[in-house]
Amino acid sequence: MLPIRPHIWFDQHTANEAAEFYTSLLPNSAITGSNKFDMGSGYCDVVEFTLAGQSFMGISSGPSLKLTPAISFMINFDPSRNADAAKRIDEVWNKLTDGGTIMMPLDSYPFSERYGWVSDKFGVSWQLILTNPTGEERPVIVSSMMFTGDVAGRAEEAIDFYTSIFKDGRRGTTARYPAGVAPDKEGTLMFADFYMDSTWMAAMDSAYQHGFGFNDALSLLIPCETQEEIDYYWSKLTAGGQPGQCGWLKDKFGVSWQVASVLMIDVLKNGTRQQIDSVLAAFMPMTKIDLSKLQKAYQGA
């Protein structure tokens, strides 16, 4: 299976603008595909891009889903890999805060000499950290989940759930809350990262009343090459959760996933207009993805 990729729903007509902005921030970044589709009720912009080697997909279509900081992206600035890391963190911070909202100022904290948290002008949330990790190297970009509200205190349960489902799932660094930091309970996760199917992710608990949670505006897309993979991940992730349309689902913690077809992604990126229209017509009524129907639509176009 290919690495999991974040899928971001932007305001109408801003997906390409956002992708151009993000790919200007860090090396090893580029827009790798862009297309526009008539969905009947309006046009839909889809863009695929990489940021520091991490693959993303963006979409803008119709009324916007509101992005929240429940899933943010941690950018690791590592002086052991880049001598200019301290300078670069300030440069990227200044760009992301322009028109954005600062959640935690870029400053010194007990866990890092330089750290800040910001929601940018498009509503996407970023954590910038100056770090010098020991042990196994982490990627520059790591998707980070905050378990708050009704699911506060369940981050560790979620990590165990995800690492049991995905290939090569394992725990990484774990830091727990000590006693005396109410409302967070002693032993819940202040921060932890974990690895699954070529993808590093992170999770934390926060029992404060933030007023936000997970939603469909930012989902995690699983690119599947076979129906067997689609059936497996759909079955595992909908257990205790809620199936949705077009391969979307919410797991039992409220995190939004897309169990997607590599064929579908490739057609939207490289297909002819006739192929795209034919595959979309087959795709739109689906709940769980039926790969054979997509293949027939593609071949019959």
Joined tokens for residue 70: 């429940």
The residue from 157, 179, 205 where one domain ends is: 205
Whole-Å CA distances, 32 to 21, 54, 84, 94, 159: 14, 12, 27, 26, 31
Judgement on whether residues 121 and 46 belong to the same structural domain of the protein: no
Q: Is residue 134 part of a domain?
A: yes
Judgement on whether residues 46 and 172 belong to the same structural domain of the protein: no
Q: pLDDT tens digits for 105-120?
A: 999 998 899 999 999 9
pLDDT for 40 equals 61
pLDDT for 13 equals 76
Q: Is the pLDDT of residue 64 over 80?
A: no
Q: pLDDT tens digits for 217-232?
A: 999 999 999 999 999 9
Judgement on whether residues 76 and 20 belong to the same structural domain of the protein: no
pLDDT for 210 equals 92
Judgement on whether residues 179 and 91 belong to the same structural domain of the protein: yes
Q: Is the pLDDT of residue 30 over 90?
A: yes
pLDDT for 41 equals 62
Total structural domains in the chain?
2
Q: pLDDT tens digits for 122-167?
A: 999 999 999 876 767 889 999 999 999 999 999 999 999 999 999 8
- Maximum C-alpha span of the chain: 64
Q: Is residue 23 part of a domain?
A: yes
179 vs 45: which has the higher pLDDT: 179
CATH number at residue 165: 3.30.720.110
Is 80 in contact with 225 (CB distance < 8 Å)?
no
Task: Average the pLDDT over each of 58-72, 99-113, 212-226, 280-294 and give the range with the smallest value.
Answer: 58-72
Q: Which of 49, 71, 50 is nearest to 202 (CA)?
A: 71
How much is the average pLDDT of 194-200?
A: 92
Res. 39 pLDDT band, cuts 50 70 90: low
Q: Is the pLDDT of residue 1 over 70?
A: no
Is 256 in contact with 220 (CB distance < 8 Å)?
yes
pTM score above 0.85: yes
Q: Is residue 113 part of a domain?
A: yes
pLDDT for 63 equals 67
Res. 301 pLDDT band, cuts 50 70 90: low
Query: Measured on CA atoms in the order 206, 207, 212, 218, is the torsion positive or negative?
Result: positive
How much is the average pLDDT of 23-33?
A: 95
Task: Average the pLDDT over each of 9-13, 255-259, 276-280 and give the range with the smallest value.
Answer: 9-13
Query: Measured on CA atoms in the order 159, 160, 163, 168, is the torsion positive or negative?
Result: positive
What CA dihedral angle connects 192, 104, 115 and 32, to 10 degrees?
A: 80
The residue range of the domain holding 107 is 71-205
**Mean pLDDT score of the chain:** 93
Q: Is residue 210 part of a domain?
A: no
pLDDT for 180 equals 95
The residue from 153, 178, 205 where one domain ends is: 205
